[in-house]
Structure 1
Amino acid sequence: MKALIVDDEARVRKAVRLLVNWDAHQIDEILEAGNGNEAIGLIRREKPALVIMDMMMESGSGVELMTWVDEFAGNTKFIVVSGHDDFDFVRQTVRHGGIDYILKPIEADMINNAVSKAVAAWRSEEEERRHRQRQSLRLNEIKPIYGEKLLSALIDDKVNAEASLRRLNVDSIIPQSVQASRLILVQTDSGNNPLLKRFGGDSELMYYAIVNICNEFLQLQGKGIAFRYWGGPPEIAIILWDVEESVVELISRINQGIYRTLQFRMHFGISTAGAFPGELPAQRTEAAEALLRRNLLRHEDYCHFSPAAGAGGMAEDSRNSGGSGPEAPLNFADVQEDWRMAVISGTTEAISAAAQHWTHELSRRGVVTPQMLNSWKADALLFRSRLVREALGNQSDSVLAELEQADLLSPSPLPSGYSFSLFAWRDWSFALMQQLSQTLSARHMKERNPMTEIVKYIDQNYPSDLSLQEVAGKFYVSREYISRKFKQEYGINFSDYIGSVRIEKAKLLMQNPNLKLAQISEMVGFHDVKYFSKVFKKQVGCSPKDFRGQAEH
């Protein structure tokens, strides 16, 4: 059994390690995290049975961590150890299922008693979960699939819909008296790895388990039927013909049953009520749109009504509207220039700031939907493509192919259907910009040494009016980069280097006695012979005339 200690003070983590009798509780692995964000990553990867956590941390607070554990790692037990005797913190701990709230300084007896209770509760629930899972698997093996093809035909096969309904009536799957219905879609995702592992990687078995749990609540009371919809991507649909009951209450009971068995809660897209079966195709579109437009920042809302639901649907529970806030949704165009400058800068700080600003704006505006995320991701990838083509020209196709291949190995920022994290979106944005910046920089370095090429360019174009801005733009580097490199490699600044090149060229031309100083000055890029003489004397130590005289002798 594993335990995780979360506190931003190392001395507190050490004290907890020393005070708890881990062997007595049969805990053989103790992990540590310095903040809530780090803890979430460890919980995802290590699945500890117990988390002992602080409430006030600089990065990822205890309340945020508790909320996340309750939502996405409900089988993990946690104990709060805090230096704040705050009733609201205690209330939050109780609300999210915490075992105990212990005040610092920590007493050995108190924390060991709390750990003992947490371990006992975890073992009891783990045994119950295993028992329910065994029951669910047996149920999937022996329970017939309820005419899924016939039920799907009611939605997407107009030609055979009437014949399918007659068969469903005869088989008593749908009562002949049904005149009106709602269609509900259950948000599922075959890529949900934690849930899929419970079924040995068998996504079909996962779908059937969810269907059967839904039908346990629907069919006993003759309210409707859940089934695997075969008309498109993998979906679970519910035809609900008891349209008088509160949909929110029914879905809440179903979701609680799913959670007890699978430790996951699902999201439900709900259509308006309409004539059965004629309105089913339009109702499926409504339900799918409701899921696409659900507000991902409202983690505790699981019932999502389509905009067409109007007052009837929304009156069931206005909190589920996920309506927009006072500000318009954020567009990628609003941050595109920030991203571009961060990528070109090549600095981790600038890239991190751009990703953080983007996430902050999403959180501040209060609405993030799957529909928005799909659009933002597409815009971000288009931005990447344009920047690569702008910077690399003919080389861009191979670079873009490499980046797209790397995309397949990186986590998607889009919600899995069960969860969404602004932190994950921030990390994805940061990774995309950083990888793009590093790729462009590496490709430029591979093709040429920037400073070698810049010096070569100056040697070839010294008579022209060269500016730092012009050279930086030509070689896709910043002005600061060029200035810094000239100081490091040549010990002088950019303009002084150009001046030294011009003077060296002038010294060579002075060996030709037929050239006047004014001609030489113009030929090496000085348009004022007096200024040329001043610079020459400063660099060489004598005037051009004296230098020429010395050369003749």
Structure 2
Amino acid sequence: MKALLVDDEKHVRDAIRLLGHWEDFGIDTLLEAADGDEAIAAITAHQPQIILSDMRMPGKDGMALLEWISAHAPHSKVLVISGYDDFELVRHAIRHGGMDYLLKPVEADELNASLLKAVTAWEEEDAIRIQSTRQSIVVNRMRPHYQDRLLTELAVGRGSSPSHMQRLQDELNLPCLIPVCSVAVTSLSHLDADCLAKYRSQPDLLVFSVLNICAEMLSTPDEGVMFRQLDQPDEIVLLHWGPSTSLEHILDKVNHGLEQTIQRRLHFGISICESYPGGISAAYLEASSRLWRRNAVQIKQRTHASVESSNGNKIRRLTAHEEPLRMAAMSCRASSVAAAVAEWLDPITDLEVVSAEQIQQWIDELEWMLSHWLDDTAGSSFNEEEVTEERSIPFAELPLDYEGLLSFPLLRSLLEQRLLAAGKALTAHHHANPDPMSEIARYMDAHYQEDLSLQQIAARFYLSREYISRKFKQQFGLNWSEYLGKLRINNAKLLLQNPSLRVAKISEMVGFQDEKYFSKVFKKMEGITPAEYRKTVFQPGT
């Protein structure tokens, strides 16, 4: 801690330096100044926490210095040491933040008592400032997520009540009257693997890039809003307060911006909301369906306002071919695996219509088969990373090309590589995963605000739910849901220290969808309700 002595008489500064118990108060640096101008220079350069100043000095005197301090260094604690017992000087000192007014010659006990009071006041206020900064960081980090949560609730049909719409209005300043609304949905899972690989270590940067481009095309809330659909982290939704024709023009500009930024264009499903806000959910589902049911073997446009007919094509399910694929995998021969994959895949290459939804279904079937095979060998020791490379990007990686169309060579390669890896895991003995439960815990630490489920975590880390439940409890002494609840409650306790945040808002910000349930969980873990906890924080002396 630093202190500054300001007096035009050096012998006075020397006396004060000798009288003060500086080290006892944690003051390890003593600065000096002979007048107000030197003091301002020292304060600007060194930012001392405690300032002791005379009032009558040549040049800029103590009165002018206190005025400057109150405007430019308001957190500093000022003690006035003067030879003048003048009411106007005392009043001026108090008005501009002086903590005490000591008369020369000052006594040691009097000086040190005032120093103790000043140091204590500064430390208490500094602790409050640090806490406030931490709260601001948490709130600023959560605010975009909170807005996305409100809009997600609206889109999925859980948030069209008057109270919810009022919160949206308060947060986003939406237009009071919205006569027509168009909805667009895109998915980052429709990008090719090369593009996604660039963002593997920073997936949120990809999301931010897309959201930023969309925001540039929606210059004000009067035109529309865009958000990340938190129930489907790969989806971005755009609500436009206007007809679909103007929405398509906006999406063309969005894709032009994306091509300049990430060198790709996205596909969008679009729909019209017949009645806002109640019809948003149906329009969102329709737009999402049109995106996923687009034809992924031919490209005609990037915006999809309808679903292309499959002309009666019967798509072959991968699981219908499970046994030949499993036997080929267990042979551990690349030629046998390639032949089994070709038997299933070759007829599909002649189809004129294959939807993105169908591609996702094939990938889901592949994951289910591999998980099923590995679960059946749970008693043996193998490395599941041999079967599935760890994925840090939270999007499905589909075998798509640069244009977002199905690449049959990529699909063939994906199937062959995964099956060969599965065969190796099924027929050989390997060491167990180094520490997958710690990876899951770190993921939960970063995403506790989201609607996490064991199924989502299992899919992300390519482990069975039963395996995670058993191993997580063994390693951490808590099951995954207890661990998640503890994370949320600990962050809620921090936010409850901000009196301007309502309990209902805090509940949503830490991942609870229902305030009553939040209060119930909080009381179970802490023994008191959130409101009672907040009262203990703000009790005098705490």
TM-score grouping bracket, smaller chain normalisation: 0.3 to 0.5
Higher relative contact order (CA 8 A, sep 6+): 2
Q: TM-score w.r.t. structure 2 length?
A: 0.43
Q: TM-score w.r.t. structure 1 length?
A: 0.42
